[in-house]
A and B are shown apart, each in its own frame.
Chain A
């Protein structure tokens, strides 16, 4: 049985709706990454994309009934936080060097 056969239970129907919603959120945050007037906007949008990916993986874990995928979501959530912190530090250092 594969996910391509279509939903087989109410839980899977809910998962499919969640897939559509998170995909829309992913596209919306991607637009912000491209458009975003300032660097901070882009960093926040990238962080948002990371969080949406975590929800996508978690939804997929439910839809495919595979708890193993949750570990990938956990790793991505922990590492994505580090990326945002590193970007924040970069913005801070850049601002400090432009003031001097």
Chain B
């Protein structure tokens, strides 16, 4: 679609949408949000770019094929599940790495977050695979 208004708006909107999707992904741990809805918002951002600038520009923006995102997400999900093997616990048991930083701060890394990132990537990959197929079909 060749519209200056849409192109200018898209460049502003895509930033907000992607930022909002990451916000939803990270907040999903104990408040509304999570990988699924975050992935949908990110896919909507790329879909907007696809409509405004065309399929070729959207492929360049994405850098990787949507199917590769799908596979990477599934891999992250399985890896997060297998982390329980380290402590001989059942599949998908949450594992935590807690680092103490100077200044009374601590960073908590968990397999739960890795699983949510996997869900995020799978949703982005699946929705974009469909959208690109529709665009070329």
Question: A residues engaging B (CB < 8 A)?
Answer: 68, 71-72, 74-75, 78-79, 81-82, 85-86, 88-89, 92
Number of residue pairs A-B, CB distance < 8 angstroms: 36
Per-residue CB proximity of B1-40 to A under 8 Å, as 1/0? 1000010000001001100100010000001110001000
Measured CA separation A74–B16 after assembly (Å): 11
Judge whether A81 and B13 touch: CB under 8 Å: yes
A90 to chain B, nearest CB (A): 10
| A86 cross-chain contacts in B, Cβ below 8 A | 47, 51
Is the pair A78, B44 in contact by a Cβ cutoff of 8 Å? yes
Q: How large is the interface on B (under 10, 10 to 19, 20 to 34, 35 or more residues)?
A: 10 to 19
| Cβ of A97 to closest chain B Cβ, rounded Å | 15
User: Nearest chain-B residue to A79 (Cβ)?
Assistant: B44
Q: Are B41 and A79 in contact (CB under 8 A)?
A: yes
B contact set with A: CB distance below 8 Å: 1, 6, 13, 16-17, 20, 24, 31-33, 37, 41, 44, 47-48, 51-52
Q: Name B's interface SS.
A: helix
**In contact, B20 and A75 (Cβ under 8 angstroms):** yes
Q: Is the CB of B51 within 8 A of A75?
A: no
Can you give 27 A-B contacts (C-beta < 8 A)? A68-B31, A71-B32, A71-B33, A72-B32, A75-B37, A75-B41, A78-B13, A78-B16, A78-B17, A78-B20, A78-B41, A78-B44, A81-B13, A81-B48, A82-B44, A82-B47, A82-B48, A82-B51, A85-B1, A85-B6, A85-B51, A86-B47, A86-B51, A88-B1, A89-B1, A89-B51, A92-B1
